[in-house]
Every structure is written in structure tokens, then in C-alpha cells.
């Protein structure tokens, strides 16, 4: 398969903002793809070579990409840098220079998907002495044989900035139509993806074996399951009513959510973004190995920083020190962790994701050998408002964020990859004016003036709407950023810059700069108000009005542990607004 076919499809997809048209174009590409290459095409369309949990990235910095382009085009690096300053897009710059390159290769070969993928794979696996030169030579070789359009998408791919606006759910829709007989196959393909987290493998099995092959997907140790997410409500009365009058309430610990996979003595930890983070937590690995009695298991836990002298839990921010690559033993001593287990998804050959929550909880308790540093999440079963409120206050007093309240009904399965009303967050600050933080996605920016000239004066932030798979603007934020933040933000966001509003962003405002929805910030505001300008939860409270956060302030926390789709939802903003109204009316 010629790589030109992919480049042509990408150009058409990039040119549209219509989701259905984007899906149709993707369906067309998938149908043109040979079955033995479809996994590679899907990975490349995701801007990667493997699923996240493999942990292998192409790893080409912009500096190296410039050197490779200079070699392939026969131009000076300074010329390319100058053009890049104007275009702001390494892909556009590559297209410009390859179109007018001075060196002509007489034995130029058309690029194929196989060659592109294998070369990028070789680049990703090249390490050690001379790795930079080897990667540059490999990339320059591809660029030398590339057409201008191919060069554009090659460079975007290797630098991690493909920027097509295609979400995984769009790929699943396209796969269901192309190979599953229609959108009715979407549920099966999504289930396979949710328990394998490998979109390329789902595509290959569907293309080669059809829906019968998809039905054979099973939960497997060391293939992380996409995490189940919770909705949010603001009072114990509402929570109990929503959960049928009775629920299990668990402490919501202020830590990093991890999915622990164990097979014999081998243990791997995955983050909520399904990345292998075992290197950050060798002590947690040892704790799982010692305290999980099952031979094979997939368990979910909150990894919490603790003071071993007092037993007190420390805030989430202290775990950021565990992200460094070096001196991890020193970090383990300074910032030790405990594990609070809260779900069992698989134990010794049994898939528990389709079992009701009480069954999973019992399985968790059965395989866990508790200690001071490994425990099942503290919980109660209750149908009483006063008891739930008292347990909530107890959780807050012990340093937790609040509670997660869980359905105990027959349908309380583990909804992998979904956000639903089987789990509901209850956090303290929802009961008053907006003193609780929210996690919002950066979708645009406005140029700074005066002291902020040359950087961004404010960022346009959005909440996520899972029903429409879009990002709805809720505020502009220019407060709380340090001088260092302001200096670094343009560089931090540069790789996400796109020429126009993203197809998944709903905004009536015109930003000076638009971004693909990637970076998540923690924001604290004064209150939530009705707004004719912002699109968050438009028409849900009053026709013609959305919701906006007034006087927002950046807390200093970049939520790198969260994907854009894990951000605070529009529905949660609505519930927070309604909570405010109740607070005011009862005052």
C-alpha cells in the first residue's frame, strides 16, 4: 500500500470539521487498506506505532527533525528554522521545502506504508551511542523519497503532532462500518477495545476474522483495561436516589489511580492513561507482589503518598516527585506510597468486568493480604442519608477528597472506558460556592498585552461532553500563572497549535490561537453563572444560555495524568451550578 494513499486521506480529513464526513473519509481509507496492514494504518492514524501500554514512542525532537529535513532538501537548517517560525507547523515547513528541494535522488522509490512503519519502528527502537545520528539518517531517507504531501504528514507523525482531530471513537465507528456491517457492530468492537486498549489489534482481528473474531477478545494480564469513570452529584440525597436507595460508599483517596497487573512474580502498573509507570513505583510493585495472593490478577488501586512515621496521607502533588527518571530510590525514601485497592477486574482466569460490583469487591478482599501499606479502600454499605454524610465527613477528616458511591445492583458491572451513573463522585466543596477545583482542557489562547506581550494573556478552557464527544468552552483564564508558566506555555502548547478551531470544540468565541484538545489544567473559580457566550451545557438550564466559571484561577497543577476526555464534564458543571443554587436558597 502506497503511503500516498494515507497522506491523501489525511489531507481530506484535516480539511473537514464535520464528524460524519470525517468518519466517511476514514471508512474509505480503511476499505482501501490491505487487511495485513490495517493495524499499522490505524496506529499511524492515532499518531503512534503501538498502543500506549507498550511504551515505545518514535521520540523525534523538533531539532532532530529540522536536521533531517535540511539533509533531505539540501537546505540550511537556519532556512528551515526561519520558515518554521512563520508556519508554526513542522509539517507545513517540510511540505514547502520538499516541494522545492535542490537535491534530486535518481533512485527515488515510492514510499509504502510497510516501509514507513518499519523505518519509524527502527527509529523508535534505536538507543545508545549514535542513536541521534541513526534516527536522523533514517528520517532523512524517508523524506528524500517523499512527495511534499507525504513529507508533511511524516514530519507531523514523527514529532507527535498529527493533528487530524480523529478520536478513537471515530475510528471505532469507521471500523464498524467498513468491516462490521454497520454501526450496530460498534458495541462489540468497543467492548474489544475497552478490554484490550489496542485499537490496531481490534482493527486487524475485525478485518481478518469479522465479528466472530471480535467476540473472542478476552481480558488478558498485561493488556490494561480502559478505566471506568464516575459522574458527579452534590448531595447524599441525590446520590442515594440515583443509585436506587442504597450504595457502597468508598473513600476517594487523593492519589494516582493505577491498574496493577500480576502474573506470578511479574507485576506491571499502568496509569489511568494506560501508560506503563512501573519505573516510578518500584516500591508499589513490591507491595503488590507481596500482598496480592492470586497467581494472576488485575486490580485497581489508588497510589497515595504517605508519611510512614505518622500514617497520614499526603497530597497528590507530592507524587509528582515520583515522575522523574533518575534518583528514584531517593524519591522512594522521601515520598513513600501506600496502595488502597478498590476493584478486582480479573483473578486467576476469571473475567470479573461483567460481574456486579459486590462480587468484584468480595473477590478483591479474598485475594488481598492487608498491611499498613496495602488495604482495600475503606467503605460502608448504606441507605441512610445521615450515615452517608457522616462517612463523608470522616473521609475528609482523614485527608481524602471525598467519596465514590457505587451501585450494588445486578447491573453494576465494570463499564470499561465509560462514564456512567453506576459510580458517583461526592466531594466536599460541591456543597457550597465553587471552592472545588475542576479539570479543564486548553482549546485556545488570546495574545497577551503589556507585560504579557509575546506570550498568552489568557487561555480558553473547555469541559468535555461525552454524549457528543465534544469540548464546550466554559471560561477564559489568565490568573494564577507564574512568570515561569507564562514563559513556558507557548513552547508547551506549540505542538498542539492548529490553524483553526478543532472539529470537536464548540465555541462562539474567536481565539487568537487554536489548539487540539490535549493539555488539562486544574482550575479554581469563584462561582458558576449563566452565560450567553460559553457553550458548556448550552440550553440545559435556560434556552440560549450556557454555563461559565467566573474569576477562574490556575492552581499550578498540570493534570498530565489525565487525557482530555478525562476532564470535568459539562454534566458535572451543571450539577455544580445546581448545587450553588440550593446553597443560596438555603442560606
> Quick one: 522 and 384 in the same domain?
no
Same structural domain for residues 425 and 444?
A: no
Res 429 pLDDT > 80: no
Residue 392 lies in a domain: yes
> Which cell is 83 given?
520558515
Give the end of a domain, one of 431, 463, 494. Answer: 431
Q: How confident is the model at residue 585 (pLDDT cuts 50, 70, 90)?
A: low
| Res 346 pLDDT > 70 | yes
Does the residue 128 lie in any domain? yes
In this structure, of 249-253, 454-458, 568-572, the range with the lowest mean pLDDT score is 454-458
Q: Give the whole-angstrom CA distance, residue 476 versus residue 343.
A: 37
The shares of helix, strand and coil residues in the chain, as percent rounded to the nearest 5, are 45, 25, 35
Q: Which of 378, 432, 406, 367 is nearest to 253 (CA)?
A: 378
State whether 450 and 402 are in the same domain.
no
CA dist., res. 344 & res. 352, Å (int): 7
Q: Is the pLDDT of residue 407 over 80?
A: yes
The pLDDT, as a whole number, for residue 382 is 97
Task: Please indicate, yes or no, whether residues 255 and 399 belong to a single structural domain of this protein.
Answer: yes
Half-sphere exposure of 214 toward its Cβ, with a 13 Å CA cutoff?
A: 24
> Of 101, 149, 204, 252, which is the active-site residue?
252
- For residue 564, what is its C-alpha cell? 482530555
Residue 453 has pLDDT above 90, yes or no: no
Residues 448 and 399 in one domain: no
Is the confidence at residue 447, as pLDDT, over 60?
Answer: yes
Q: Is the pLDDT of residue 349 over 80?
A: yes
375 in active site: no
Together in a domain, 581 and 447: yes
Point out the domain boundary residue: 158, 179, 204.
158
pLDDT (mean) for 400-419: 94
User: Are 13 and 68 part of one and the same domain?
Assistant: yes
Please indicate, yes or no, if residue 535 is contained in any of the structural domains: yes
The span from the CA of 515 to the CA of 497, in Å, is 4
Distance, in Å, from the CA atom of 257 to the CA atom of 27, rounded to the nearest integer, reads 35
Do 308 and 401 fall within a single domain? Answer: yes
Is residue 151 a part of any domain in this protein? yes
Instruction: Let me know whether 351 and 380 are in one domain.
Output: yes
Could you tell me which residues are beta bridge partners of residue 296? 263
CATH label of the domain that carries residue 249:
3.30.470.30
Model confidence at 565, pLDDT cuts 50, 70, 90, reads very high
Percent of the chain beyond pLDDT 70? 96
Distance CA 472, CA 170 (A): 18
Q: For residue 570, name the pLDDT band (cuts at 50, 70, 90).
A: very high
- Residue 104: is its pLDDT beyond 80? no
Among 484, 468, 474, smallest CA distance to 439 is for 474
Domain boundary among 431, 458, 493: 431
* pLDDT per residue as tens digits for the range 494-538: 999 999 999 999 999 999 999 999 999 999 987 888 888 899 999
Residue with cell 496506529: 43
Do residue 427 and residue 509 come from a single domain? no
Residue 402 lies in a domain: yes
Which is more confident, 449 or 26? 26
* Rounded Cα–Cα distance for residues 284 and 485 (Å): 32
Looking at the fold, whether 453 and 499 belong to one and the same domain comes out as: yes
Which band of pLDDT confidence, cut at 50, 70 and 90, is reported for residue 430? very low
pLDDT greater than 80 at residue 392: yes
Higher pLDDT, 472 or 101: 472
Tell me if 250 is assigned to some domain.
Answer: yes
pLDDT at position 204 over 90: yes
Same domain for 492 and 541, yes or no, is: yes
CB 337 within 8 A of CB 303: yes
| DSSP H or E stretch at residue 139 | helix 131-145
Number of domains in the chain: 3
Q: Any alpha helices (H) in 217-327, and if so which ranges?
A: 236-242, 282-291
Regarding predicted confidence, which is higher, 580 or 192? 192
Give the C-alpha separation, 370 to 361, whole Å.
14
Q: What is the pLDDT of residues 225-248, one digit of tens each?
A: 999 999 998 889 999 999 999 999
Task: Answer yes or no: is 220 within a domain.
Answer: no
Secondary structure class of 481 (helix, strand, coil) = coil
What pLDDT does 107 receive? 63
395: confidence class by pLDDT, cuts 50, 70, 90: confident
Q: How would residue 269 be classed by pLDDT, with cut points 50, 70 and 90?
A: very high
Q: Which residue has the cell 475542576?
A: 438
Note whether residue 288 is domain-resident: yes
The domain of 285 spans 229-431
Q: Which CATH number do you get for residue 100?
A: 1.10.3260.10
Amino acid at each position: 500500500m502506497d503511503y500516498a494513499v494515507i497522506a491523501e486521506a489525511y489531507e481530506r480529513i484535516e480539511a473537514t470539521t464535520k464528524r460524519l464526513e470525517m468518519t466517511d473519509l476514514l471508512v474509505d481509507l480503511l476499505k482501501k487498506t490491505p487487511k495485513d496492514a490495517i493495524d499499522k494504518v490505524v496506529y499511524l492514524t492515532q499518531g503512534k506505532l503501538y498502543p500506549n501500554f507498550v511504551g515505545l514512542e518514535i521520540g523525534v525532537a523538533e531539532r532532530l527533525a529540522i536536521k533531517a529535513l535540511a539533509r533531505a532538501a539540501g537546505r540550511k537548517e537556519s532556512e528551515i528554522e526561519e520558515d518554521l517560525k512563520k508556519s508554526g507547523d513542522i509539517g507545513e515547513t517540510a511540505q514547502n521545502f520538499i516541494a522545492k528541494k535542490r537535491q534530486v535522488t535518481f533512485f527515488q522509490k515510492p514510499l509504502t506504508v510497510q516501509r514507513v512503519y518499519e523505518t519509524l519502528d527502527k527509529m523508535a527502537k534505536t538507543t545508545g551511542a549514535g542513536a541521534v545520528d541513526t534516527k536522523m539518517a533514517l528520517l532523512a531517507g524517508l523524506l528524500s523519497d517523499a512527495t511534499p504531501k507525504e513529507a508533511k504528514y511524516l514530519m507531523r507523525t514523527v514529532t507527535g503532532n498529527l493533528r487530524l482531530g480523529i478520536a478513537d471513537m471515530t475510528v471505532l465507528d469507521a471500523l464498524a462500518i467498513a468491516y462490521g456491517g454497520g454501526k450496530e457492530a460498534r458495541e462489540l468492537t468497543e467492548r474489544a477495545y475497552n478490554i484490550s486498549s489496542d485499537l490496531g489489534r481490534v482493527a486487524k482481528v475485525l478485518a481478518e476474522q469479522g465479528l466472530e473474531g471480535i467476540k473472542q477478545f478476552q481480558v488478558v494480564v498485561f493488556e490494561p483495561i480502559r478505566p471506568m469513570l464516575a459522574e458527579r452529584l452534590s448531595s447524599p440525597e441525590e446520590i442515594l436516589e440515583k443509585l436506587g436507595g442504597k450504595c457502597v460508599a468508598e473513600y476517594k483517596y487523593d492519589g494516582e489511580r493505577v491498574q496493577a497487573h500480576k502474573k506470578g512474580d511479574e507485576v506491571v502498573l499502568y496509569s489511568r492513561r494506560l501508560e506503563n509507570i512501573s519505573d516510578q513505583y518500584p516500591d508499589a510493585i513490591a507491595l503488590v507482589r507481596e500482598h496480592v495472593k492470586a497467581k494472576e490478577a488485575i486490580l485497581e488501586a489508588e497510589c497515595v503518598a504517605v508519611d510512614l512515621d505518622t500514617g497520614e496521607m499526603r497530597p497528590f502533588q507530592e507524587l509528582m516527585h515520583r515522575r522523574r527518571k533518575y534518583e528514584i530510590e531517593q524519591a522512594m525514601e522521601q515520598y513513600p506510597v501506600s496502595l488502597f485497592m478498590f476493584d478486582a477486574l480479573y483473578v486467576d482466569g476469571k473475567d470479573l468486568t461483567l460481574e456486579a460490583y459486590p462480587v468484584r469487591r468480595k473477590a478483591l478482599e479474598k485475594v488481598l493480604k492487608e498491611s499498613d501499606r496495602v488495604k482495600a479502600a475503606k467503605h460502608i454499605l448504606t441507605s441512610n442519608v445521615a450515615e452517608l454524610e457522616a462517612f463523608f465527613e470522616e473521609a475528609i477528616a482523614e485527608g481524602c477528597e471525598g467519596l465514590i458511591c457505587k451501585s450494588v445492583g445486578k447491573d453494576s458491572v465494570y463499564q470499561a472506558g465509560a462514564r456512567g451513573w453506576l459510580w458517583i463522585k461526592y466531594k466536599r466543596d460541591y456543597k457550597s460556592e465553587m471552592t472545588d477545583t475542576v479539570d479543564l482542557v486548553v482549546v485556545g489562547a488570546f495574545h497577551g498585552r503589556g507585560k504579557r506581550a509575546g506570550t498568552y494573556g489568557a487561555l480558553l478552557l473547555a469541559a468535555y461532553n461525552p454524549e457528543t464527544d465534544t469540548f464546550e468552552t466554559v471560561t477564559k483564564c489568565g490568573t494564577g500563572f507564574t512568570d515561569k508558566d507564562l514563559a513556558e506555555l507557548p513552547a508547551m502548547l506549540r505542538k498542539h497549535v492548529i490553524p483553526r478551531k478543532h472539529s470537536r470544540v464548540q465555541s462562539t468565541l474567536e481565539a487568537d490561537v487554536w489548539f487540539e484538545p490535549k493539555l488539562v489544567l486544574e482550575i479554581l473559580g469563584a462561582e458558576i453563572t449563566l452565560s450567553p457566550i460559553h457553550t458548556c451545557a448550552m440550553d440545559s438550564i435556560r434556552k440560549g444560555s450556557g454555563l461559565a466559571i467566573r474569576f477562574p484561577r490556575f492552581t499550578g497543577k498540570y493534570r498530565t495524568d489525565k487525557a482530555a476526555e478525562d476532564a470535568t464534564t459539562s454534566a458535572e458543571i451543571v450539577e455544580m451550578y445546581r448545587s450553588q443554587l440550593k446553597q443560596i436558597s438555603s442560606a
